[in-house]
Amino acid sequence: MGAPMGFDTVKPVKLIEGLISHFSKNAIILDSFAGSGTTAHAVLNLNKRDGGNRKFILVEMEDYAETITAERVRRVIGGYGDTEGTGGGFSLYSLGDELLDRDGNLNGEASIEDIRQYIIISETRGAEMSYESGTVDHPYFLMRTVGRDHYFYYEREQLTILDRDFLDTIVIPQDSYTIWADKCSFSRAELDRLNIAFKKIPRDIRKI
């Protein structure tokens, strides 16, 4: 890889291996300009050589991310020519639509499911809390964490209001609730009495 593949600034695998070897065998290596995938190659080689558990995160915005960057990682893992594979694995992800537009409103092109997944991941990863989804038969149910049910009350074409009518649709009791909606008709004291944390769309999505 390198100049023959259209890359002028070649990063030798051995050089990157040497740099990475100074860090923990459990390090997470981030390369924001992945190019041909040399960093992943080096990490995989080192793990095979010394039994390390290093992980890599590659970011590549050019259109060769799949055909060159990811393909090289596949070949390093599986083997190529007379070179034995290192073993290991990786996942490949593509960026989707932006969730928020320039005005801070929800992007009409983003799917509601993507927005829901973003909230789930953002709300649970910091506390490393476990959650369950799909446990409650309700169109706006988002997830369940310990002692708390979360609802994402959102409609693309109409305003949603957390009010008594909406609460009456929740038939499964829980110790406390987090409910996302455009507006809320309850006072702070009423929310506290009902053990509800109200999160405003899109204001509180911008905060996570």
C-beta pairs of 102-108 under 8 Å, 24+ apart in sequence: 104/202, 104/206, 105/202, 106/154, 106/156, 106/201, 106/202, 106/205, 108/156
Burial of 43 (0-12, 13-18, 19+ CB in 10 A): buried
Residue 1 has what pLDDT? 45
First to last CA, the chain: 40
Pick among 3.30.465.10, 3.40.50.150, 3.40.50.2000, 3.40.640.10: CATH of 3-84: 3.40.50.150
Amino acid residing at 117 = Q
- Give the pLDDT of residue 96: 80
Residue 35 burial class via C-beta count within 10 angstroms: exposed 0-12, middle 13-18, buried 19 and up: buried
Identify the pLDDT of residue 4. Answer: 53
Give the integer Cα–Cα distance in Å for 170 and 7: 58
Other beta carbons less than 10 A from residue 70's beta carbon: 19
Residue 130: the pLDDT is 64
- d(C-alpha 91, C-alpha 159), whole Å: 38
Looking at residue 69, its pLDDT comes to: 97
Nearest-CA neighbor of 99 among 108, 90, 91, 89? Answer: 108
pLDDT at 10: 66
pTM above 0.85, yes or no: no
Between strands 28-31 and 79-80, the pairing is unpaired
10-residue mean pLDDT profile of the chain (208 residues): values are 54 94 97 95 98 97 95 97 96 86 82 89 68 82 91 93 97 94 97 97 75
| 60-98 tens-digit pLDDT | 999 999 999 999 999 999 999 999 999 999 999 988 878
Alpha helices in the chain (DSSP H): 13-20, 38-50, 71-78, 112-125, 164-167, 188-193, 203-206
Q: Where are the domains of the chain?
A: 3-84, 112-206
Give the integer Cα–Cα distance in Å for 162 and 149: 15
d(CA 186, CA 112): 25
Contact 144, 150 (CB under 8 A): yes
